[in-house]
Structure 1
Amino acid sequence: MPDPLAWDLNVSMVPLNVRFGDETFKDRVDMDSAAFFNRLARSKVLPTTSMPSPGDFKMLYEDVAKTHDAIISIHLSGKLSGTYQAAKTAADGMSGVDVVPVDSGLVSAGMFLLVHAAAQAAARGAGKEEILKIIEDSLRKIRMFFVVDTLEYLQRGGRLSLAGQMIGGMLNVKPILTIKDGVIAPASRARSQKKAIQKVMDYLSSLPHKPSAAVVGHALAPEECKATQALIKSKFGSIKIFTCEIGPVIGTHSGPGCVEIAVM
Structure 2
Amino acid sequence: MSNIKLFADSTCDLPLSEIKKMDIDIIPLIVTFGDDAYKEGTEINTKDLFRLVKEKNMLPKTSAPSPADFYNAFKPYVDAGKTIIYLGLSSKVSTTLQNAKLAAENLNTDSIIIIDSLSLCVGTGALIRQAYNYISSGMPLDEIIYNIQKNIANYKLYFTVETLDYLHMGGRCSSTEALFGKMLNIKPIISMCVDGLDVWKKTRGKKKAINLMIEEIILDKDNILNDEIHVGCTVGNEEERSLLKKQITELTGITKFQDYIIGCVISSHCGEGTLGLGYLLNEELIKNG
Does TM, scored on the shorter chain, surpass 0.5? yes
Which residue among 44, 67, 87 is the counterpart of 1:74? 87
Q: Cα RMSD between the aligned structures? A: 2.3
Partner AA of 1:242 in structure 2: Q
**Contact 1:175–1:190 (8 Å) recurs in 2:** yes
2:38 maps to what in 1? 25
CA contact under 8 A between 1:176 and 1:186: conserved in structure 2? yes
* TM-score, normalization by structure 2: 0.83
Per mean C-alpha deviation after superposition, the further-off stretch among 181-190 and 166-175 is 166-175
| Aligned counterpart, 1:242 | 258
8 Å contact kept, 1:70–1:128: no
Aligned pair 1:210/2:224, yes or no?
yes
Q: What residue number does 1:14 align with?
A: 27
What are the superposed Cα offsets for residues 50-92 of structure 1, whole Å, 9 maximum, x if unpaired? 0000111111111333555311111111121100000000011
Contact 1:69 1:96 (8 Å CA) reproduced: no
Secondary structure of the structure 2 residue equivalent to 1:49: strand
Cα 1:205–1:170 change in 2 (3 A) is farther
Any stretches of 5+ residues in structure 2 without a counterpart? 1-13, 281-289
SS, match of residue 262 in structure 1: strand
Q: Post-superposition shift, 1:6?
A: 1.3
CA contact (8 A) 1:106 1:182 kept: no
Structure 2 distance, partners of 1:244, 1:41, is: 24
Aligned residue number for residue 3 of structure 2: none
Return the TM-score normalized by structure 1: 0.91
Residue identity (%): 29
State how far apart, in whole Å, the 1-side matches of 2:225 and 2:246 are. 15
Contact 2:248 2:254 in 1 (8 A): no
Counterpart in 2 of 1:135?
148
Q: 1:7 to 1:30 in 2, by over 3 A?
A: same
Deviation of the 1:157 alpha carbon: 2.2
Change (3 A) 1:142 1:89: same
- Superposed CA deviations along residues 149-204 of structure 1, whole A, max 9, x for unmatched, are 1223223324569xx97994772111111113342211112222122111100012
Paired residue type of 1:231: Q
Conserved 8 A contact 2:157-2:279: yes
Aligned pair 1:233/2:246, yes or no? no
Deviation of 1:216 after TM superposition, in Å, equals 0.9
For residues 160 and 110 of structure 1, what CA distance do their matches in structure 2 show?
A: 24
Q: Distance in 2 between matches of 1:170 and 1:81?
A: 32
* Structure 2 letter corresponding to 1:132: I
Q: 1:151 to 1:177 in 2, by over 3 A?
A: same
Contact 1:167 1:186 in 2 (8 A): no
Superposed, 1:34-113 pairs within 5 Å as 34-67=47-80, 69-95=82-108, 98-113=111-126
Deviation at 1:258, TM superposition (A): 0.3
Between 1:21-30 and 1:145-154, the stretch displaced more is: 145-154
Distance 1:240 1:97, change over 3 A: farther
Aligned counterpart in structure 1 of residue 127 of structure 2, from 89, 108, 114: 114
One-letter code of the match for 1:142? Y
In the aligned structure 1, how far is the partner of 2:205 from the partner of 2:29?
A: 32
Q: C-alpha separation between the residues in 1 aligned to 2:253 and 2:152?
A: 23
C-alpha distance in 2, partners of 1:26/1:242? 25
| AA matched with 1:48 | K
Deviates more, 1:185-194 or 1:46-55: 185-194
Aligned match of 2:211: 198
In structure 2, the CA distance between the partners of 1:168 and 1:125, relative to structure 1 (3 Å rule), is farther
How many residues in Structure 1 have an aligned counterpart in Structure 2?
263
Unaligned runs of 5+ in 1: none
Equivalent position amino acid for 1:156 in 2: M
